[in-house]
Structure 1
Amino acid sequence: MKKAKKILSLITAAALLTIGLAGCTETAQQDNSGTSGTTQSQTAKLSGNISMVGSTSMEKLANALSEGFMAANPGVTVNAEFVGSSAGIESLVGGKCDIGNASRALKDSEKSSGAVENIVAIDGIAMVVNKANPVKNLSKDQLIGIYTGTIKNWSEVGGSDTAIVVVGREAGSGTRGAFEEILGIEEKCVYANELDSTGAAMAKAASTEGAIAYVSLDVINDTVNAVSLDNVEPTADNILSGSYFLCRPFVMATKGEISSQSDLVKAFFDYVESSEGQEIIKKVGLILPQ
């Protein structure tokens, strides 16, 4: 009898052990399943390539946003080419890139071709002169006179007896287009030099006595002097207040609405609109659109 009870106890213990092990196995499977789901979610990263082409004035902004986006998404590569606004939009509507950068508002003809204007920042256009130039301010009429050739010497606007060297950008430049449109002098400018990048225009003003050039506000450095216009300095605050008249939009155009783009391109624009993206825009010296 004692032997039978002992056998029964052993059988019961074995059964309990089996049930316990089964329970542990089921719990472990559930835990592993939960962990696997979380891991897959955490490791589901964006990957692929984004191509953008366009404005040389937007190089600093485009590179900063691209670098930030790639740092947050190591599987993504953003390729940026800076060849001018018109060339960028042409590339976009031709299906050769994902984003066309334009440092001006889009033309009606570009919009009718499918380009959608996505304004990501506002930029001021600064007028820069050689460091030796004593002129600190120009009126709007004086600026128009300089660029249309009716004012040819700095002595005519309070400066020294020095010939004015009128520096501008190449045809198709967004900066040139915006500058001439704001002043109402399209196809009326008399340029001594037409240069193909913002950096080249800055360098010409820095190295040439008597030179004047228009450049993006965010690239100004101590190699040149930025003149006031109508006694208003080219600053972000003055642009926001509307008191500084030379300003233009920075556009990252898409072919069709952003909502119709690839998930990767949509994610890029989400990043631009994020707090991190907005901080980058401000750090490079640009103004957030209102």
Structure 2
Amino acid sequence: MKVKSIIAAAVACVLAMGISGCGNENSAEDDDRLKGTIVITGSTSVEDILTDMMDEFEALYPSVSIEYTGSGSSAGIKDTKAGVNNIGASSREIKEEEKDEKLKEEVFAYDGIAAIVNPANEIQDITLQQLADIYSGKITNWSEIGGKDETIFVVSREESSGTRSAFEELTGLPDAGGLTSKAAVAEGNGPVQASVAGNKNAIGYVSFAYIDESVKALKLDGAEPTPEASKTGEYKLSRPFVFVYYEDKATEAGLAFLEFAVSEDGQYCVEDNHGITVD
């Protein structure tokens, strides 16, 4: 159960029973055990999950303040190595040239994106390269990848979408020429899902949470779009969300936050924001 839910339940209990406490008598002492400010910079794609985690952690430890700046994964890692932050946030694996012996990594979630088509579409499998070619406009007909002789209706997301930025990065769309001007833009996973469900020639992409019987999720290079395949790296349209830090610079509060992120309550925040948990 999330911390805020526990607190709400405790308050309700106190009001209902008219007593001074119905939980841990040392809660105030526990709340004050950690103090200070935690500075986190890095990926914008982790923002929803991270913001939820921050709110929960600050509810548990009122004397701790967490400052987060979305500056991009590379910038967050650089900030950590330069001592600008306590924790860096990355929405990709850490590159070999970014690693050093003392830099620690903590995967706190995974992000999976499914390429979806209408259930009437006979296509079952697609490659990353084919996705890039479809979304850049190089492939415009389903017959070019083994389907019917029908024009492909491309559905993408709005420019501010973290799902869109992840999709484009993972498929290599910028190197393929960028998004075709003929693509329809939908604001949100739900509208993309609805567009594909209502058009037999459409293709779109959504977070795994939006896969249901109204659409068909395609295999990617033979791999099923599942949390398990995402965690192993077999399914390539996925990525880890990673915290990077140095133990001597993270601070006691920062290390506690890192522990919280992979705890049961922290993983509730992942689930609530359509991420894939680490367990």
Q: Does 1:104 align with 2:95?
A: no
Task: Give the 3 Å change call, closer, same or farther, for CA 268–212 of structure 1 in structure 2.
Answer: same
The aligned amino acid for 2:63 is G
Residues 87, 250 of structure 2: 8 Å contact kept: no
Residues 42, 74 of structure 2: 8 Å contact kept: yes
Q: Tell me by how many angstroms 1:73 deviates.
A: 0.6
Match of 1:47 among 35, 50, 53: 35
The aligned amino acid for 1:59 is E
CA–CA distance in structure 2, aligned partners of residues 116 and 252 of structure 1: 8
Q: Tell me by how many angstroms 1:108 deviates.
A: 1.8
Q: Tell me by how many angstroms 1:139 deviates.
A: 1.4
- Measured against aligned partners, the alpha-carbon deviations of 1:72-127 in whole angstroms (never above 9, x if no partner) come to 01111212222322222233333322221111101122214964322112221333
Q: Give the structure with higher Rg (CA).
A: 1
TM-score normalised according to structure 1 size: 0.61
- Residue of structure 2 equivalent to 1:287: 276
Match of 1:251 among 225, 231, 242: 242
CA–CA distance in structure 1, aligned partners of residues 47 and 27 of structure 2: 37
CA–CA distance in structure 1, aligned partners of residues 45 and 72 of structure 2: 8
Where in structure 2 are the equivalents of 1:269-284 lying within 5 Å? 269-284=258-273
- Measured against aligned partners, the alpha-carbon deviations of 1:32-81 in whole angstroms (never above 9, x if no partner) come to xxxxxx89955643222112122222112111211111110111121222
- Residue of structure 2 equivalent to 1:175: 166
Q: How many residues align?
A: 238
Residues 55, 83 of structure 1: 8 Å contact kept: yes
| Secondary structure, aligned partner of 1:45 | coil
Residues 91, 100 of structure 1: 8 Å contact kept: yes
- Residue of structure 1 equivalent to 2:225: 234
User: Among the aligned pairs, what percent are the same residue?
Assistant: 29
Unaligned runs of 5+ in 1: 1-37
Q: Tell me by how many angstroms 1:260 deviates.
A: 5.4
The aligned amino acid for 2:255 is K
Match of 2:254 among 265, 268, 274: 265
CA–CA distance in structure 1, aligned partners of residues 74 and 203 of structure 2: 24
- Residue of structure 1 equivalent to 2:19: none
CA–CA distance in structure 2, aligned partners of residues 187 and 244 of structure 1: 21
The aligned amino acid for 2:275 is L
| Secondary structure, aligned partner of 1:261 | helix
The aligned amino acid for 1:139 is I
The aligned amino acid for 1:152 is T
Residues 70, 78 of structure 1: 8 Å contact kept: yes
The aligned amino acid for 1:276 is D
Q: Tell me by how many angstroms 1:263 deviates.
A: 0.8
CA–CA distance in structure 2, aligned partners of residues 99 and 174 of structure 1: 22
Higher fraction of helix: 1
Q: Tell me by how many angstroms 1:133 deviates.
A: 10
